[in-house]
Amino acid sequence: MTDLSPLEDIEIVLLLEGIYQRYGFDFRNYALASLRRRIWGFARGENLKTISAVQEKVLHDPSCLERFMLALSVHVSAMFRDPNFFLLFRSKAIPLLRTYPYIRIWLAGCSTGEEVYSTAIILQEEKLYSRSRIYASDMNEAVLRAAKAGIYPMHLMRSYTANYIQAGGTRSFSEYYTAGYDNVIMRSALLDQVVFCQHNLATDGCFNEFNVILCRNVMIYFDKTLQKRVHNLFYKSLASFGLLGLGDKESLHLSGYEQSYEQLSGKEKLYRKVT
């Protein structure tokens, strides 16, 4: 059987270039192996036999673009995901944030909003929410709509509650949502200081100065070129002594900014800008 992978690589390059030229969404520096799996998953869902057929459909049918974006975007999240990170955030970041008269936080790649509500809950419990503004961004409008709605499956609440407790939660987690049928809806007050915005880390630039930037488990899907671009964007967007939070499989290694931050913990990826 003929090995189609070199041809597929060409098709993928042409598909991504076409999407960038046609719509302005840039996936060209995403990790190829992950992209290949997701593109083929989309192709099967659309009953398409080749990646070239995906290109033809997406470029000629704008209504297909949102389905394609959902297929390529990674939306694996949870409330208080990696509880030890949020526990460290309470113990190390919150005391620093108390010294600011006003706090600006950027949640980059917020997906369906689990981290938005987790961060808002911590700020409420630490009595900092009223002087904070959370900017929750994602490139995908569909997931931003889901984040704003704040509706999640009831069966996830047990694990979310466990995460909340491990992350140092001080109240009953059920106080933050209303249950109904098989879903819950998060309390609307948690969004009082949240601004949702569409932002593409691959192409868009700085839009404010922040005291905290959290971008966790997003850059693992980028190649080295795009990772460096994003690190440069975050460095420019952080105020002096601002905090940067990354996922547990991410680091500043080879970012070009390793000497510009100090790590606040030996294990969790929470850094403070020092130069």
Count of CB atoms situated within 10 Å of the CB of 69: 20
Spans in the chain with pLDDT lower than 70: 1-4, 74-76
The encoded tokens of residue 224 equal 């080295």
What integer pLDDT is reported at residue 4 of this predicted model? 55
pLDDT at 265: 87
Q: What pLDDT does residue 75 have?
A: 65
Q: Give 88-105 as a 3 state SS string.
A: HHHHHHHHHHCCCCCEEE
pLDDT value of position 74: 65
Can you read off the two tokens belonging to residue 103? 């706090």
- Pick the closest to residue 202 from 26, 58, 53 (CA basis): 26
How far is it, in rounded angstroms, from Cα 100 to Cα 165?
Answer: 27
How far is 57 from 275, CA to CA, in rounded Å? 48
pLDDT at 29: 87
CATH 3.40.50.150 assigned to 83-273: yes
pLDDT of residue 212: 98
For CATH 3.40.50.150, the residue range(s) in the chain are 83-273
* pLDDT tens readout for residues 70-79: 888 766 689 9
Pairing verdict, β 151-153 and 183-186: antiparallel
pLDDT of residue 66: 84
* Element housing 245 (H / E): strand 238-246
Of 31, 43, 1, 45, the C-alpha closest to 218 is 31
Each residue's pLDDT tens digit, 141-182:
889 999 999 999 999 999 999 999 999 999 999 999 999 889
204: three-class secondary structure by DSSP: coil
Q: What is the pTM of this model?
A: 0.86
- Residue 268: its pLDDT value, please? 94
